[in-house]
Amino acid sequence: MKTTTNSYYATLEEEYLIDRSILQEIEEANRECQPIFAGISATTELNQLKILRAFQSNQVTDFHLHGSTGYGYGDVGRDTLEQVYATVFKAEKAIVRAQIVSGTHAIALALFGNLAAGDELIAATGRPYDTLLKVIGIHGEEGSLLKNGVQYTEIPLTPDEKIDLKELCERISPQTKMVAFQRSKGYDWRPSFRIAELAEAISRVKTRFPWVICMVDNCYGEFVEEKEPLEIGADLIAGSLIKNPGGGLALTGGYLAGKEALIEQAALRLTAPGIGLEVGSSLCFGRTAYQGLFMAPAVVGEALKGAVLAARFFEKLGYPVAPGYNDKRTDIIQAIQLGSREKMIAFCRGIQKAGPLDAFVTPEPALLPGYTDEVIMAGGTFIQGSSIELSADGPIRPPYIIYLQGGLSLAHIKTGLVFAAHELQKKL
Ligand SMILES: *Cc1c(COP(=O)(O)O)cnc(C)c1O
């Protein structure tokens, strides 16, 4: 007997032995999410148009897709890609390079490039993302900002998890060179900061302290809303190309965009003084970075729909979720509170079983470079560690929250959610 006449559900029930209750819940969740999906599609259309126009106004041509080798002198494809990014993010200048190894590296370039000994960095959105704590050096890490003589101040969020604007403005002094904002919640159970909230905070800071650089960690936020942080007053943004702006195609890389002077400083850190952005071969990075950026709004739209569906589905299965399925979003992250180490492992096992690659491996918790707790990760992705592809991860610590993100198509994400729920059910 079949759950429905739909052969997708029938196949899952008959061939994958998924319990009918799970299929009924996801089918209902999917129905309830349709109005939210419509809103996401509208944002995708606008962002797709924005990117199309950036390609056209910079006259991207086939020649630009071919890479360079060695020093990479005169790599017009590389330089044009950076101009396209600058146009998309409304920046004076951008850096988009395969030589930026990760999002953490991109953010570190923004920080080290623009902060000298004696300068103060203020984190305005509470405790920063795990890997950035080591860049800052809160435990005395070698080579960190603190070891280089940069001062660091962290402004905790208010009890209702907002940016503490009053405290922030009171703490800014003539030594304060930069205020850093983190758009996405990272591994935290707080709401992410929407563009409107960042706009208010940045304009407060800029009105009173116009010399302060406002930097936004834009990881996971690109193309989720209609505007990006530079359009609402930020001076500098940074992010990863194996997240949103790489569209699932970029093979590696990171980006920075913002005021020309700040980008120039970061460039000296990326390469060397006197060299800056004139060198750096793009190898075979260009084609995937261009096409990935072009695909990014659509891919982000699919990932967002998947996150919304996950929120509704796991809420129905009895787990606390953040954000809720009909909350406004500014990133692609869906947090699900599972309540135990075993359930985190089971959830990841399900996501892994839904991967196009490595579906036969079993994720295990492990210590990873840059992180302080054991982390579990699932992701049978085409690009290693890519989290714009369907993936789930989280540090193993109470209350045992799994962070789900990415997915190149909603159809695939849906199957991943079903598999995760199936593994959780087996665990009970
Ligand atoms: C992913 C992420 C980073 C950078 O992480 P990498 O794994 O180094 O790319 C930084 N901040 C936030 C909020 C992130 O989500």
Closest ligand 1 atom to the C-alpha of 104?
Answer: 8
**Domain range 2-46+296-427, CATH class:** alpha beta
Distance 369 CA to ligand 1 centre (A): 13
Is the pTM higher than 0.85? The answer reads: yes
Task: Copy the structure tokens of residue 416.
Answer: 């991943």
- Of 215, 228, 209, which Cα lies nearest the Cα of 115? 215
365 C-alpha to ligand 1 centroid (Å) = 19
184 lines ligand 1 (CB under 6 A): yes
Q: Is the pLDDT of residue 5 over 70?
A: no
Token digits for 213? 């650089």
The domain locations on the chain are 2-46+296-427, 67-293
Q: Has residue 86 got a pLDDT over 90?
A: yes
Evaluate: CB of 102 within 6 angstroms of ligand 1: yes
pLDDT tens for 244-300 read: 999 999 999 999 999 999 999 999 999 999 999 999 999 999 999 999 999 999 999
User: What pLDDT digit, counting tens, does each position of 224-248 carry?
Assistant: 999 999 999 999 999 999 999 999 9
255 lines ligand 1 (CB under 6 A): no
Write the DSSP assignment of 298-322 as a string of letters: HHHHHHHHHHHHHHHHHHHTT--EE
pLDDT value at 412 more than 60: yes
Q: What is the pLDDT of residues 169-193, one digit of tens each?
A: 999 999 999 999 999 998 888 999 9
Q: Minimal CA–CA distance to 60: which of 81, 86, 75?
A: 81
In the prediction, which pLDDT does 56 show?
A: 98
Q: Is the CB of 82 under 6 A from ligand 1?
A: no
- Burial grade of 97 (CB within 10 A; 0-12, 13-18, 19 or more): buried
Q: What is the structure's pLDDT at 1? A: 45
Is the Cβ atom of 129 under 6 angstroms away from ligand 1? yes
d(CA 100, CA 95): 9
Phi first, then psi, for residue 50 (nearest 5°) are -60, -45
The pLDDT tens digits for 96-116 are: 999 999 999 999 999 999 999
Backbone φ and ψ for 219, nearest 5 degrees, come out as -55, 130
- Answer for the pair 149, 305: CB distance below 8 angstroms, yes or no: no
- Residues 311-323 have a mean pLDDT of 98
Q: Which residues contact 110 (CB under 8 A, 6 or more apart)?
A: 215, 236, 238, 256, 262, 266
Of ligand 1's atoms, which has the minimum distance to the CA of residue 217? 11
Are 247 and 388 within 8 A, CB to CB?
yes
Cα–Cα distance, 221 to 243 (Å, whole number): 9
For ligand 1, say whether the CB of 415 is within 6 Å of any of its atoms.
Answer: no
Distance of CA 303 to the CA centre of its chain: 11
Could you check whether 2-46+296-427 and 67-293 share the same CATH topology? no
Where do runs of H (alpha helix) occur along 124-227? 130-136, 165-171, 195-208
pLDDT in the model for residue 428: 61
Rounded to the nearest integer, the mean pLDDT of the chain is 96
Q: Tell me which amino acid residue 37 is.
A: F
Q: Is the pLDDT of residue 142 over 70?
A: yes
Of 396, 373, 390, nearest to 130 by C-alpha is 373
Q: How far is the CA of 288 from the centre of ligand 1 (A)?
A: 20
Residue 370 predicted with pLDDT over 80: no
**CATH numeric code, 67-293:** 3.40.640.10
